[in-house]
Chain A
Amino acid sequence: QLQLQESGPGLVKPSETLSLTCTVSGGSISSNSFYWGWIRQPPGKGLEWIGSMYYSGSTYYNPSLKSRVTISVDTSKNQFSLKLSSVTAADTAVYYCARHSSAFFDYWGQGTLVTVSS
């Protein structure tokens, strides 16, 4: 059974960079035809796709966040990571990592709350 687990600081200061890692177990992050992505959910609000990395290494970012987002992969550790720069309070959210096809998101991590505050 594929499992994903987010990890990283729960508190980030304004203007700094948010960094999260997703560790994948029960399957390879190099699996053909899958994307590995990040989605966030501000408290009490809906879901926003942040960006994804295809198994080949190509990256795709939400145009509204593209200038601040970097997704990278470490295949030796079966992990992928998110960096979001210049954060503000509006970036406070639960951040999920997920596996998806070109269509739907089928495996999700449990989510991790990141608060932006001084």
Chain B
Amino acid sequence: EIVMTQSPATLSVSPGERATLSCRASQSVSSNLGWYQQKPGQAPRLLIYGASTRATGIPARFSGSGSGTEFTLTISSLESEDFAVYYCQQYNNWWTFGQGTKVEIK
């Protein structure tokens, strides 16, 4: 099983600032990685797939990068609706998720 490890567990950021979230795979997943946003009481929403391709309707302030075992999700300028939990997910071998990073208001 490929284990996905996200850091940090919690990120405190002020509105308008940049947020950088990390995801590491226990073995290479190539670019077979997605990012999801989850708000309380809601299902996850796909943000990024293929490590760097934004899903339909996702604002340009969300960007993804990386390949192999190291990946980054960057939110360039946080807006109020971006405070949520973010999960990475690999699909190179079955489907596994990271444990999440909570982005909270500083």
Interface residues of A (CB under 8 A from B): 37, 45-49, 52, 60, 62-64, 96, 98, 100, 102-106, 108-111
Contact = CB atoms under 8 A, between A and B. Distances in A.
A63 B43 contact: no
Interface string B23-38: 0000000001010100
Which one of A49, A96, A102, A104 has the highest number of Cβ atoms from chain B below 10 Å of its Cβ? A104
Interface string B42-84: 1111100110000100000000000000000000000000000
Contacts, number: 52
Contacts of A47: 44, 87, 89, 97, 100
Nearest to A96: B43
B98 A106 contact: no
A14 B98 CA distance: 28
Interface size class of B (residues with CB under 8 A): 20 to 34
Of A46, A64, A98, A102, most buried by chain B (CB within 10 Å of CB) is A46
Given A45-B99, A63-B1, A103 B43 contact: no
Contact of B49 (A63, A64, A96, A103): A103
Contacts of B97: 46-49
Contact of B55 (A98, A102, A106): A106
Contact of A64 (B1, B36, B43, B95): B1
A113 to B, nearest CB: 11
A48 B44 CA distance: 12
A105 B99 contact: no
